[in-house]
Structure formats: C-alpha cells, structure tokens
A and B are shown apart, each in its own frame.
Chain A
C-alpha cells in the first residue's frame, strides 16, 4: 500500500479498482460491468482504489472493508486505467483515507443526468469485466 506520508499524484497509466456490491451493477451473461456502477450520486465524486504499490490481497481486503461497511456482498471489482477517466470534464485526484491510503476520487462530474450517463457508458466500455474475489485470490496464491 502507499505510504500515507508520501502520496504521489495519480498517473494516467495507473490501474484503479471500483468495487461491485450490487448484482445489478454487472451483466451476469458476460460479466461486463454496467454504467450505473459509475454514477457518483449523491456525492460529487466517485470513489476508486489505486493499485499502486498494493498487492491483490490488499486490494481485496479494501473491497471487503468497503462491502462490510455497506452491509453488502462483494461481487467483485472492475479495473480501469486512470487515463480512461479523462473523459469530458473528469479528473482523478488522490484522496487517501485513514484505512485506505490508496483511495482516490473521480471529480468534475457534469450536473445533467444525461451527461453523467454518457460518461458512465464510456467508462463501462473501458473497464475490465467483473473480476471475482475467489478467482483473484486463487491466482494470487498461484503466484506465491
């Protein structure tokens, strides 16, 4: 994980994770994430977690913390390059939290709902398919 005392700015090439905690946030037919995963309401920013200096176990641990705090099931996560968030007015800003120094916010969302949806469609198109927690843990175990 990142050193809380030394948080670098988000680079376009970094991978960012967005956790999936609703069955309606991905298509079970092909595991493609849906655009509603990227609608920030009621906040002005969208929460993501940076992969930078985090291993798979740490990324999943954050996902488990997030879903537990929400009282929801963690269906998985999608990964997306930070540069893909450079759509229209968006930008990614590092926003470390006490329990997640890798936290970042996607800011600059337009106000009009249809404009938010148009961006969310593009993000969903650029994002990875749903990555399941179990398969990720298995693959990380394979690496050890």
Chain B
C-alpha cells in the first residue's frame, strides 16, 4: 500500500518530525474512535469485486491496483477521527469515495489510476465540481467541500 505520509524536508529535524508523526498516526489509528479500518475494509472488498474486466456485466474496466493504492492513500490522508466515506466503483475503473448527509447534500470523489481526483458535490442548489491531481495530500478546495458535507449538522 501507498503511504500517505509525505516527507516535509530532508533535514534531520524534518525526518524526526516525520517519524514522530508516523508513530502518532499508527498509535491513534489503533483506537476505536480514530480507526480508518472500516473504510479500508470496504475499499478492499470493493476492489476484490471489481478488479477484473466486465465486473458489472456491461464491459466495465477493471479497478487497477494503482487505483486501490491511491484510494488507500486518500483515506489515510484524512485527519484522524474525520467521518469516513463509503466506497464504490465506477464502470470506468475509478474508485469512489462518497460522503453523504442526504440526497441533496453529498459529495462524490472518483479516483483514477493516474491519481486524478474527479469530484462533484450537491450542496442544496449549488453543484460545485472539478478535478485535481492527487499527490498524497487532499487538495484544499476539495477538502473544504468534503468538510461541508461530512461535518454538516444533521
């Protein structure tokens, strides 16, 4: 799997901070409140179902291992304790991560094997959409939209 933790620099201090950060992330990831395991398990299950061509019977493209890796990295890049997405696949071989409050307040992110994030949201009457490359960190504009859905009060 791809690690979502990026090196912040080449200095000994940066390496030290990265190591501490990774250790903390591993520690908190084990706790029930912060674990991302349910989303990871759903991700792997989805990949197993969709890793071969024609998985939908309508000539769908397979979900490639690199797409799985990017999706894994995306989930790991979420802050600890952040609401987890539901996972799906699309017939073009993209994996999807969806956050959902109700049918009119939702966001869907598609992850391609080339590590491009295609997203669209419904926020009442507003329907923002776009695409961004994924380099291991969630782009700010996209994360802001995810927050609007995932952290919205019910």
| Chain A residues proximal to chain B, CB less than 8 Å | 21-25, 27, 32, 34-36, 39-43, 67, 69-72, 112-115, 117-118, 120-122, 124-126
In chain B, positions 110-143 with a C-beta closer than 8 Å to chain A are 110, 118-122, 127, 129-131
Judge if B83 is at the interface, Cβ distance under 8 Å. no
The answer to whether B96 touches A36, judged by C-beta atoms less than 8 angstroms apart, is yes
Judge if B34 is at the interface, Cβ distance under 8 Å. no
Closest CB in chain A relative to B127 CB, distance in Å: 5
Please, how many angstroms separate the alpha-carbon atoms of A114 and B121 in the complex?
Answer: 10
Per-residue CB contact flags for chain B residues 84-123 toward chain A (1 = under 8 Å, else 0) read 0011111110101010100110101010000000111110
Known: A39-B91, A42-B92. A115 touches B129 (CB 8 A): yes
The answer to whether A121 touches B57, judged by C-beta atoms less than 8 angstroms apart, is no
The answer to whether A122 touches B127, judged by C-beta atoms less than 8 angstroms apart, is yes
Please, how many angstroms separate the alpha-carbon atoms of A39 and B56 in the complex?
Answer: 12
The answer to whether B103 touches A124, judged by C-beta atoms less than 8 angstroms apart, is yes
Known: A42-B61, A124-B103. A114 touches B91 (CB 8 A): no
| Chain B residues proximal to chain A, CB less than 8 Å | 46, 49-50, 56-61, 86-92, 94, 96, 98, 100, 103-104, 106, 108, 110, 118-122, 127, 129-131
The contact sample of 15 A-B pairs, CB cut-off 8 A, is A21-B57, A24-B46, A34-B98, A35-B96, A35-B108, A40-B91, A41-B90, A41-B92, A42-B61, A113-B92, A114-B120, A114-B129, A117-B118, A118-B129, A121-B120
Among residues of A, the one whose C-beta sits closest to the C-beta of B42 is A24
Given the complex, which residues of A lie within 8 Å of B58, measured CB to CB?
42-43, 70
The answer to whether B120 touches A118, judged by C-beta atoms less than 8 angstroms apart, is yes
Closest CB in chain B relative to A103 CB, distance in Å: 14
